[in-house]
Amino acid sequence: MNATTAEKNKDLPPPHEGVLELADNLWWTWHEEAHALFASLDPDLWAACGMNASRLLASIPEDQLQEKLKAPDFQDRYHAVMTAYRAEMGKQATTWYEGRRTDGEIAYFCMEYGLATWLPFYAGGLGVLAGDHLKACSDLGVPLIGVGLLYKEGAGVQRISADGDQATEFLEIDVDKLPLERLENEDGSPLLVSLPLGDRSIEVQIWKLQVGRVPLYLLDSDVDSNMPDDRAITARLYPSEAGTRIKQEIVLGIGGVRALRLLGHEPAVWHMNEGHSVMLVLANALDHLERGSTLDAALERVRSNTVFTTHTPVPAGHEKFSLDLIRSLLVPYRAEAPELVEQLIDEACESGESFGMARLAMRMSNRRNAVSELHGKVARGMWAHLWPDRPIEQVPIGHITNGVHLQTWLAPEFVRIFDEKFGLGWINAADDPETWQAIRQIADATIWGTHLKLKERMLRFLASRAIDGEGVNRLSLDPRALTIGFARRFVTYKRADLVFKDAERIAALMADPNRPVQIVMTGKAHPADQAGQALLKEVYLRTGMPEFAGRFVFVPDYNMDVARYLVQGVDVWLNTPRVPNEASGTSGQKAAMNGVLNFSILDGWWAEAYTPEIGWSFGDPDPIDDEETQDDLDARDLLDTLENEILPYYYDGSPQPAKWIGMMKNSIQQVSPDFTARRMIKQYVEQLYRG
Ligand SMILES: *Cc1c(COP(=O)(O)O)cnc(C)c1O
């Protein structure tokens, strides 16, 4: 270390304190050097701890830790990481957001957050998107505060029996081994928010999770003073029982507003990410009434700074609750402000019978967005009845297409190559198409070699995780075979079975010794979705059929780790929804950035991104009403495209398929700038967060 670095380092804490500080902020999860620093303390224990730094530091023997921390090589890397961390977290750091008109803080409410596999507070795409939202806001310096729930039993782990039956197992999380801080009063007792609920009041405590610069507050009803049933309100994500579910949403919406006030926040914008958090409008309107506003003025003020993002074009996905249930829980609020509660009930109810969360959110926000261009169009049609005087194209719902957090999803091997070719700092210009032009200067052999390495890594992972027909884990897949990945929630409209519709034909294609094909699938069905579970079972049972065994595997318990291996390691990413049910989809974006070619029907984000240079489309973007016939047509086109277009490109007779690699580069170059969370957050700031 030279004198100037020593000089610079003198303000840094000693390594032991420093690694504890780093572990407490999720910043390390998306900075590869920080990740590697923890891994180097004990690679085996690191894997055993599920790559959770807090757990590692709680588990590693003290003398071993001290020994490691003293090694000069470790100290050098520690100083580099810590310097970068301090520079970014410091008050003087310059960010994109700086210099823009600042209206104040943005409160972001969501039911789920997917930040890391070992933080089981997410179920799927909505949560992973919210996690990426927070990380990108941190990168850009956007003054956002996240609000969610702490689920002590998490989202459940999926187990699949040999018969293909799905079971969900809930395991209590160990809060001591997570970077969670419980907010406390000076005497060490938990800081509590009281919340009237039906005939009683409950209390919730607040946990803080630091995501780079962005704090995430998680509410938790597991407090001593609550009755046992109330303590369990926030135990699990998305419970099937409607009563628990709406109670969770009251905790999130009303509890969330009260927690922020208690902590001294006065957000300028309230962002409801999906309708689950719409109760926040009740809490905010009550505050305005308390401060002396009239009812109309209170509602107007709430509308003026509330924004709403809708995430589903499927009507069944819009949550509704029985009015009796809502009324029984809102009794104390009605006692306080009868007219307000009646008015909100009016706004939420279509024809007097059920309380629509998304409907209320539409009515009580002044800016609204869907999550892709096509979804915007669908959403305007779906909600047109709320604006009967307007033609459909003037229904006030815009769109901001989803994007993904590059540092979370791009393989570190590619990051290193791009560091070399694009110049340092390129990640901060990743939403600029210019940045990606240098991909042309990267040799085919480098791209292909990296891809094969990532594919091998995925195959090793599958060998320990995937299940084939005999219920055993074994490395049965061939690294040279074209490998298709499919990772989706199992709901019928996503049509996981479409590729198997003509089972004989796909089996023959897969078994062709000159052009073999393999399929890797993963995904969960909601425990209350019988049709989804039946679909999962049907698909799963194929892994055991002789014509598919060894070529088709299923990975139980789809989560962010599984997603990362798959979107970095397969050759082709398949998506088969019934158009236009996919609001956006983001897994295909993750795949595209890693040079994995998308093969998808033109729905969601792919309808915007697709060009024949970067992947393939199939099926009918303008479906007919007869679903069964449409499924057959789409299935046939899927296999035609696979057989006649995709396979010849992949198996071109050379060890390094030139046209394929060309498409990989095109995919990386075209998709990455447009579909990063960085682009998405800039649009949220400009279109939604600024008045
Ligand atoms: C990215 C991701 C999703 C969302 O992907 P879709 O394409 O929207 O289905 C869901 N689950 C996990 C674990 C993910 O990483």
DSSP string covering 222-266: --TTS-HHHHTTTSSSS-SSHHHHHHHHHIIIIIHHHHHHHTT--
Residue 610 CA, ligand 1 centroid: distance in Å: 19
Residue 318 CA, ligand 1 centroid: distance in Å: 19
User: Which numbered atom of ligand 1 lies nearest the CA of 562?
Assistant: 13
Predicted pLDDT at 97: 92
Interval 135-144 mean pLDDT: 97
User: Which numbered atom of ligand 1 lies nearest the CA of 590?
Assistant: 1
Tell whether ligand 1 has an atom less than 6 A from the beta carbon of residue 142.
no
Predicted pLDDT at 7: 54
Predicted pLDDT at 621: 85
pLDDT over 70, % of the chain: 97
Predicted pLDDT at 202: 98
Residue 44 CA, ligand 1 centroid: distance in Å: 28
Tell whether ligand 1 has an atom less than 6 A from the beta carbon of residue 378.
no
Residue 567 CA, ligand 1 centroid: distance in Å: 10
Tell whether ligand 1 has an atom less than 6 A from the beta carbon of residue 270.
no
Q: In what helix (H) or strand (E) does residue 76 lie, and over which residues does it extend? A: helix 72-89
Q: What is the 3-state secondary structure of 335-395?
A: HHCHHHHHHHHHHHECCCCEEEHHHHHHHCCCEEEECCHHHHHHHHHHCHHHCCCCCHHHC
Contact 360, 249 (CB under 8 A): no
- Domains of the chain, residue spans: 5-89, 106-402+683-689, 420-675
Tell me the CA distances in angstroms from 609 to 333, 603, 662, one per residue in order. Answer: 47, 10, 17
What is the Cα–Cα distance from 397 to 374, expressed in whole angstroms? 12
Interval 87-101 mean pLDDT: 85
Confidence (pTM): 0.97
Whether the per-residue pLDDT at 312 is higher than 70: the answer is: yes
Whether the per-residue pLDDT at 552 is higher than 60: the answer is: yes
Minimal CA–CA distance to 362: which of 344, 374, 377? 344
Predicted pLDDT at 276: 98
Residue 585 CA, ligand 1 centroid: distance in Å: 7
Whether the per-residue pLDDT at 2 is higher than 50: the answer is: no
Interval 328-350 mean pLDDT: 96
Predicted pLDDT at 451: 98
Predicted pLDDT at 103: 74
Per residue in 396-405, pLDDT tens?
Answer: 999 999 999 9
Around Cβ 230, how many Cβ atoms within 10 Å?
22
User: Which numbered atom of ligand 1 lies nearest the CA of 575?
Assistant: 7
Per residue in 635-691, pLDDT tens?
Answer: 999 999 999 999 999 999 999 999 999 999 999 999 999 999 999 999 999 999 986
Pairing of strands 157-160, 166-169: antiparallel
Residue of 409, 559, 587 to test ligand 1 pocket, by largest number of atoms within 8 Å of CB: 587
Whether the per-residue pLDDT at 355 is higher than 80: the answer is: yes
Residue 635 CA, ligand 1 centroid: distance in Å: 23
Atom 6 of ligand 1: nearest residue by CA position: 585
Atom 11 of ligand 1: nearest residue by CA position: 124
User: Which numbered atom of ligand 1 lies nearest the CA of 487?
Assistant: 9
Per residue in 39-75, pLDDT tens?
Answer: 999 999 999 999 999 999 999 999 999 999 999 999 9
Minimal CA–CA distance to 563: which of 529, 594, 525? 594
Predicted pLDDT at 475: 60
Interval 171-187 mean pLDDT: 96
For residue 659, which amino acid is it? K
Burial letters 408-423, b for 16+ CB under 10 A, else e:
bbbbebbbebbeeebe
Whether the per-residue pLDDT at 471 is higher than 70: the answer is: no
Where residue 239 falls among pLDDT bands split at 50, 70, 90?
Answer: very high
Residue 485's φ and ψ, nearest 5 degrees, are: -110, 145
Is the fold of 106-402+683-689 the same as that of 420-675? yes
Atom 5 of ligand 1: nearest residue by CA position: 587
Predicted pLDDT at 655: 92
Whether the per-residue pLDDT at 1 is higher than 50: the answer is: no
Predicted pLDDT at 691: 62
Tell whether ligand 1 has an atom less than 6 A from the beta carbon of residue 558.
yes
The CATH homologous superfamily to which domain 420-675 belongs is Glycogen Phosphorylase B; (3.40.50.2000)
What is the Cα–Cα distance from 576 to 539, expressed in whole angstroms? 14
* CATH 3.40.50.2000, applies to 106-402+683-689: yes
What is the Cα–Cα distance from 216 to 183, expressed in whole angstroms? 12
Output Rg (C-alpha) for the chain, integer angstroms: 25
Tell whether ligand 1 has an atom less than 6 A from the beta carbon of residue 574.
no
- Which residues, listed in sequence order, are joined to residue 270 by a DSSP beta bridge? 107, 306
Residue of 559, 586, 590, 680 to test ligand 1 pocket, by largest number of atoms within 8 Å of CB: 586
Tell whether ligand 1 has an atom less than 6 A from the beta carbon of residue 563.
yes
Tell whether ligand 1 has an atom less than 6 A from the beta carbon of residue 587.
yes
Residue 489 CA, ligand 1 centroid: distance in Å: 8
Per residue in 145-170, pLDDT tens?
Answer: 999 999 999 999 999 998 999 999 99
Contact 220, 251 (CB under 8 A): no
Tell whether ligand 1 has an atom less than 6 A from the beta carbon of residue 116.
no
Tell whether ligand 1 has an atom less than 6 A from the beta carbon of residue 560.
yes
Tell whether ligand 1 has an atom less than 6 A from the beta carbon of residue 567.
no
Tell whether ligand 1 has an atom less than 6 A from the beta carbon of residue 586.
yes
Interval 280-305 mean pLDDT: 98
Residue 523 CA, ligand 1 centroid: distance in Å: 9
Residue 125 CA, ligand 1 centroid: distance in Å: 4
Where residue 476 falls among pLDDT bands split at 50, 70, 90?
Answer: confident
What is the Cα–Cα distance from 222 to 226, expressed in whole angstroms? 7
Q: What average pLDDT does the structure give for the chain?
A: 95
Where residue 394 falls among pLDDT bands split at 50, 70, 90?
Answer: very high
Per residue in 581-617, pLDDT tens?
Answer: 999 999 999 999 999 999 999 999 999 999 999 999 9
* 3-class SS of residue 670: helix
Atom 4 of ligand 1: nearest residue by CA position: 125
Q: Considering only 15-24, 80-89, 348-357, 597-606, which range has the smallest mean pLDDT?
A: 348-357
**Burial zone of 538 (CB within 10 Å; 0-12 exposed, 13-18 middle, 19+ buried):** middle
Predicted pLDDT at 10: 65
Tell whether ligand 1 has an atom less than 6 A from the beta carbon of residue 275.
no
Whether the per-residue pLDDT at 3 is higher than 50: the answer is: no
